[in-house]
Structure formats: C-alpha cells, structure tokens
Chains A and B, each alone.
Chain A
Amino acid sequence: MLDTTSPPVLDVINVCKSFAGKPAVREISFQVGKGEIVGFLGPNGAGKTTTLRMSLGLIAPDSGTIKLFGSAPGPNAFGRVGFLPEERGLYRKITARDGIAHIACLNGMKRKHALIRADEMLKRYGLGDVGRKKIKTLSKGMAQKVQLIAAIAHDPEFLILDEPFSGLDPVNQKLLEDMVREIAERGRTIIFSTHVMEHAERLCDKIVLLSQGQKIFDGGLKQALSHAPRRLEIETPSAKAEAVLKPLAQELKKDGDTYNIVLKPNKEARHVLADSVKAKLELIRFEPERPSLHEAFVTLVDNEELKREELKGELS
C-alpha cells in the first residue's frame, strides 16, 4: 500500500552523530515513504539504533536534518509513532493490560478505551488469559509480545521497531511477521532493524543497509538482491563441461558430474545456458539458485570494506 504521492513519513538528510569523538553515524540519508515497510539492516555497531533514536528525537544529531511527519522529531509526533526499543522492558509489577493501557494513554487514548483496546489486542495475539497477570510473571516471549502490543495499541501511523525479532522463538517470530504484515495492510508505515535477513526479505518493500555508521545501500528488495552473487548448479557427464563453464564463472566447484558455479558479475544464467547448448553439453540438470539477501548483504559489506581499504591505501 505504498503511497508515492505523500511526503515521506521520515526524512533523514546527511545526519552525523559521534559519541566521545567516535563517529557512530556518518552522513546518512534515506527516506521512509507512507505505507512502506523498510528494513534497516546492518551488523552490530553499524549505527542502526542511534539512527532510530535520532529519528524519534531521543538524541540530537551533531549535524544534518531529520524530519518526522514533515517537522523536527519530538512532541509533534507524540501519539503518531509507535516505538519498540531494542532494550525491552515494561513495568514489572503491573498487569499486562495496565502496562499496555498506560503507554496507550500516554499516546493520547482515554483510559477506558485504552483498557478495552488492551484486552482486545491481548486476545487477538493469543495472550487473552494473561492480561490480568503481572508482567514479571510472564515468559520473556510473552513480555516481548506485550511490549509490542503496547507500542501499537494506539494504532500509530508510523511504527519504529528496533530488533523486534531478537529473543523470540520461531513460532513467535512468525506471529510477529504476521502482525507486521497486518499493520502494513492497514496502510501504516513501518521501519524495523534486524539481523535476520529472512525477515527483511519476506516483509520489506525497501532495504536500508548500514555498515560502520555509513549507508551502503538504499533501495528496493530486487535491487538489493541483484548485488548477491548468482549461483548455478549444473549436472552434466560431458568431459568438456569445465572448459565451457570456466570463462563464465567467478568460482567453479566440481563434485562428480555436478558443477557449482558462482557467475562473474557481468554474466547471467542465460549466458551459461546458451554456451552449454552451443557446446552441445548433455545437461541433466540446470538449476539457477535464487539470490539471498544475506549474500547480497555480505557482498555489499565486503565491497564497502574493500573500497575503504583502497581509499586508505591511496591516502597513505
């Protein structure tokens, strides 16, 4: 439900932030459009949490501009944003429904409505029977779900989720994915940071990739996947197969009659097929592998590090 006509919900322009002289975020720019699900990816220490905190106005950037709903982040956006911080926590000594209702009230809901909404959502997400239990008595996964419900109970226009999948078992990860999809279907905008590429791959319209405080990719999922190395698996008994495939491969591994090929950057599976047909190879199997975001991520990070090394070398 991407709305390309509306101004971006979040606009981060050339933002820098250092802590104790150490740069955490360097010249980052990206936009989150209305109705988009954006995956904010990067290794540990890439600057994801700092950027998200700056996006909410919790910390101020050293330079650059951030616009949330068209103006500086802060009180103007209260009630319009739902935030799940990386460090999870709720008041331990109150009940789950009270905890959810308290945050919903702070986000502008009336207490009576907030309690009704809390009960509804707890029920919807399978926690109906723990609503009146104290949060300290809940399991970690349950408490995390309660906190997510607290972040979305007021039905925010924009949801910022910092590492929402960490600490959840596969069943709850699937449930959270469903929750995110359901929220997005209602036209809400979502940005979430994660280490788990599969989630981003399954959920995101757009990927922003950070490494060492810098943005190294910003674009659609297909575009991101195009950076992943293309792999092929071919099975052929032909003796000349290796000679035919080698000019097209960046890496070539042979196991019996099976060849695992990583294609050169300028080559595609169709080129391999064309050359194989031309050389009259007897093809038993020809399987191009689907590129993964994980590999795209690794490639992009490696390329960026390579660039940096080269730059360092040039400077020295």
Chain B
Amino acid sequence: MSSFPISPRRTYLIARRDFLGYIKTWGFWLTALGPFLGIIFGILFPLVLSQSEPTRYATILDETGLHARAIEELLITNNNKELENILRSAARVTIPQKDKEAFNKVLDEQGLDAARELILNTSPVMAKLLNLPDTKLVFVTPPVDTMEQLKPYVLGTEKLTIENQEQSLGGVLHIYEADGEAKAEFWSTSPNKSELVSLANQYFADAASQKYMAAAGLNRKQALQERKNALRVSTLNPAKQVGDDGSQTVTAKDRIPYIVAAGLSMMLWFSVFTGAYMLLMSMVEEKINKVLEMLLATTRFSEIFLGKLLGVAALTLASLLPWIFLGALGFYGATQFADGAIADGLIQAMSTKMLIFLPVFFILGYVFYGSIFIALGALAESMQDASTLMTPVVLLLTACIMVVPIGVAFPDSPLLTAAAWFPFSAPFAAVIRLPSDPPLWETLGSVLVLITSSALVIWGSAHMFRYGILSGGGAAAIKAWGKAWFSRIVLRRKNG
C-alpha cells in the first residue's frame, strides 16, 4: 500500500477533528489570549501592588537642624523625576513624531502638568494612567522632642492624630551629633527596609560628594554636566550607505533589524515547539484512547499524518493570531509615534527577504519538527513514554535556540553560518541571519536542506508511525521498523 496518495476529504476530516478537539479546550484559549491577559495583568499588578501598600507615617528628628528639610525636598524631587521618566516613555507611543520636539520643549520649560496636558490631547486614556500613585511615605512633624519620648510612638503604645484619626508612627529618622560627628539612626519595628532609609542614604551620599568637591573648589552640578558633555565614540560602518546626514554612523536603525529578527526567531521557535508538542500529545492521546486502529481501517497513514500536521498548523496559527494582531498594532504604532530611527529600523527589519523567507522557514520548521514529534507520539504507549522519547529532541530544540543570542551579538559568526545548514537549527539561524543580508544562495541552501531533511523525516516518521501504532510501541517498534527496513531494502538488494 502506498503511503503517499491522499484523499483531501479524509485529510480535511482528520485535520478538522484535531483542530476542533483542541480549540474547545481551556489550554488553547489561555495560550491564545495570553498576550491580552499579560497586558491586563501587567497593568493591574502594579496598580494592585501600589494600592495594597499602606501609607507610612515617618518623622525626622533632626537635632542638627541641617538635614530634615533637604531630605523632604529630595523625596519631592525624586517623585518628579520618576513622573518625568514616565511621561517621556508614554510620549514615545502617544505623541506623533512631528510633535515630539514640541513635547520635549513643553516638558523642559513648562513642567510636568503641561506635558501631561499635551498627552491628554492625543491619548486621554493614557493620560489618566500618568499619575504617580499618592506617595506612601508621609512626613509628619515630630510630636515630641526627644528620641526617648518618640520610642512609645514607634512601639505603637502612643498614637499620632492626623486629620482627626489615630495613626501609628512607622519610623523615626534620628539625626544627631556625637563626638563631633554626625550620626543617623532609623528606628522602626518593621524588619523591612524603609524607603526613608534609602532616601536619607541618597541624601547623605550626595551631600558628602558635594562637600568633598566643594573642598577642592569644584562644583558637583558642573562636574555632572561635564560628564554629560564628554566625548562619545561613534560607531561607523564602511559597508553602510551614506545617510541623509552624510555619515556612515551606526544607529539604532541599524540594530533594530537584528532585534526584530531575534524576536521573530524566538516566536518561530516557540510556535514550532508548541505545535510539535500538540502533535505529540494528539498522537499519544489517540494511541491511549485506542482510536488509531479504527481510523486506519478507513483512512490512509498519509492522510492521518498530513491531517494532523494541517489541523495543528491551523491551531498554531489560530493561537498566534492575537500575537500577530498585537505585533501589527505595535508595528503601526511604532511607525506613527516612535522616534524616526526606531520606525525606520522596523521598516528595514520587515524587508522583502524577511517577508518571503519567514513564512517559508516557519512552514519548513513546523513540518520538520512536527513529523518527528508525530513519529515519537506513535511510538509512545503512555504519557511517560512520550516524555522520555521527546526529551532528547526537546534538548536539541533548546540547544538550537542558542543561535538567537549569537545572531544578535555576532551576526557574522561562523557558528551561525553552520547552524543555518544544520536542519535542526536551520529555521531559527536562517531567520536571524537575514538582517545581515547573507548571499541569497546561502538562504536558499538552508531552504533546500530543510526541504530535503523534512522529506526524509516524513518518510521515516510515516514508517515509524505505521510500526509504532500496530506494534507495542517504544523501542520494540523502532527495532521492528529497523529490522523490516533492513530485510526489505538491504537484504533484497543483496539477494537481487
């Protein structure tokens, strides 16, 4: 019986059942909605975290009279800096590129509220989120004059009255002089590190550094400015076409394609792994449920094989749709709002070569690994068997993902070139090599290697599948297949 002729209808029926069988499960929807759940969780988690932190009342007992006010002012400065950073980050995705300069000018000259007002015009939803949560550290005036008198407040036996409500004192920063030296102590019953301690340490470090520089006749602010204006090395690439600015400087635009390729390669790896794993599980499930023998009385091996590949491919694609949607949205957003270099880099990353070869390597990688996992599933008799059989392939697959960091850090690495010719790593290595514009024949070579290997794997997998199902499975099935193949091909040839 030939293994390859197929009936499209029966193949469709097998694919349909596998697709519908999985799409109704919770697991599928959790995977598919993962990115959205991640976004919701990512927004909710910090909000919940900040809401769950109670307000802490603290006081500074500054016997020197030199530091309390400065520390309190430092807290306000830090909060403003944090909000400024948030506004600048938000502006990257909310302020159109043409208005970026105006926004920066407003932020620098008119302050935070004016900048937030600008974001409100383009993205009211985002603007609402751009408030720092109310500070959880609140300074109060010491209710008594000495540390000894303050201790009952720290212990909770005495309470503060704030806005007609009794509150506990979370801690006391006691600054005093002893033996001609300034001392600072923080008194609290909480074992956790207080924000006030960090703040005070920052203040004292800045003050010490300022004092030291002043003693040498230097100005700290000036020094920081000098550091900011220091000479920086430009990276130039002679292979790069001279840009609009007349230079060959390497910019973010040149690096982005590698980062995008790395991301796509990771996504490809993840999809191949997920798809192949689903194929293995589907196969094992049918073996355990004893459905396969009944199917085989009505359907060819090749139809079951191809049907499964197609069904799970459709399923993988369906689970990728939210990622593709978000990716497309992000791409559009970046081209509209992001810095010019980022937008140009992204457009450059999605080159014609990438658009053509990414789906090609996606399909070939899936078919290659999918066929291997189907065969492993057919050989397994139980879930434990399946885990044992898949471990070496998973290890190999995991090792292959190492090409991604190599591709980002050393795109010209000979190891990466070799990996593009090795079928197990070829799909990922070839994709990550695309931004470095390898010769077309090399990319086509990787395609050819994968097509040939996939054909071989399908041939071997189809045979192992056949033996795996009707023999006991496991090592016995491989042995039976090997023996049958040897006697049929080798011995017949010898005798013939």
- Asked if A pairs with B, the answer is yes
- Partner-B contacts on A (CB < 8 A): 19-20, 53, 56-60, 72, 74-75, 78-79, 81, 83-85, 87-94, 102-103, 105-107, 147, 150-151, 160
Whether A147 contacts B298 in the complex (CB less than 8 A), given A20-B483, A53-B470, A90-B289, comes out as no
Q: Which residues of B contact A94 (CB under 8 A)?
A: 21
Contact B13 A105 (CB under 8 A): yes
B1-25 to A contact mask, C-beta < 8 Å, 1/0: 1000101001001100100010010
The answer to whether A83 and B289 have CB atoms under 8 Å apart is no
Query: When the two chains form their complex, are residues A56 and B297 in contact, meaning their CB atoms are under 8 A apart?
Result: yes
A58-B297, A74-B300, A93-B24 given; name 6 further pairs at CB < 8 Å. A19-B480, A58-B293, A59-B470, A72-B1, A75-B5, A85-B293
When the two chains form their complex, are residues B294 and A83 in contact, meaning their CB atoms are under 8 A apart?
Answer: yes
Evaluate contact between A89 and B294: CB separation under 8 angstroms.
Answer: yes
B214 contacts partner chain A, Cβ-Cβ < 8 Å: no
Measured between beta carbons, the chain B residues less than 8 angstroms from A84 are 294
Q: Bound state CA distance, A91 and B7, in angstroms?
A: 22
Contact B17–A91 (Cβ < 8 Å): yes
Known: A53-B470, A91-B289, A94-B21. A103 touches B294 (CB 8 A): yes
The residues of A that contact B300 with a CB separation of less than 8 Å are: 74-75
Is B295's beta carbon under 8 Å from chain A?
yes
B289 touches A106 (CB 8 A): no
Asked whether any CB of chain A lies closer than 8 Å to the CB of B105, the reply is no
B294 near A147: Cβ-Cβ < 8 Å: yes
Shortest C-beta distance, B472 to chain A (Å), equals 10
Q: Which of A53, A59, A79 contacts B298 (CB 8 A)?
A: A79
Contact A87 B290 (CB under 8 A): yes
B299–A151 CB distance below 8 A: no
Interface presence of B291 (CB below 8 A): yes
B394 touches A (CB below 8 Å) = no
Cα separation A93 to B300 with both chains bound (whole Å): 23
Q: Is residue B418 within 8 Å, beta carbon to beta carbon, of the partner chain?
A: no
In the complex, which range does the number of interface residues on chain B fall in? 20 to 34
A88 touches B298 (CB 8 A): no
Are B470 and A106 in contact (CB-based, < 8 A)?
A: no
Residue of A nearest to B292 (CB): A89
A89–B470 touching, CB < 8 Å: no
Q: CA A56 – CA B292 in complex, angstroms?
A: 14
Residues B17 and A57 in contact, CB atoms below 8 Å apart: no
Task: Contact check, A57 vs B291: say whether CB atoms are below 8 A apart.
Answer: no
**Please, how many angstroms separate the alpha-carbon atoms of A74 and B10 in the complex?**
14
Q: B294 is contacted by which of A57, A72, A151 (Cβ under 8 Å)?
A: A151
Q: Give A63 Cβ to nearest chain B Cβ, in Å.
A: 13
Query: Which of A87, A88, A102 is within 8 Å of B17, CB to CB?
Result: A102
Closest to A53 in B: B470
- Across the interface, do A88 and B290 meet the contact criterion of CB distance under 8 Å? yes
| A75→B1 contact, CB < 8 A | yes
Interchain nearest-CB distance for B310 vs A (Å): 15
| Chain B positions within 8 Å of A103 at CB level | 294-295, 298
Given A94-B21, A103-B298, A105-B13, check contact A87 B293 (CB 8 Å).
yes
Contact partners of B483 in chain A: CB under 8 A: 20
Give the Cβ gap from B214 to chain A, nearest Cβ, in Å: 76
Q: Which residues of A contact B296 (CB under 8 A)?
A: 56, 58
Given contacts A20-B480, A78-B299, is CB(A106)–CB(B293) below 8 Å? Answer: no
A38 to B1, CA, bound (A): 26
B257 to chain A, nearest CB (A): 44
| Contacting residues, chain B, for A53 (C-beta < 8 A) | 470
B294: chain A residues within 8 A (beta carbon): 83-85, 89-90, 103, 147, 150-151
Complex CA distance for A60 and B488, rounded to whole angstroms: 12
Pairs A-B, 8 closest by C-beta atoms: A89-B290, A83-B297, A85-B293, A87-B290, A106-B298, A74-B1, A89-B289, A89-B291
- A78 touching B298, Cβ below 8 Å: yes
| Residues on B with beta carbons closer than 8 Å to the beta carbon of A102 | 13, 17
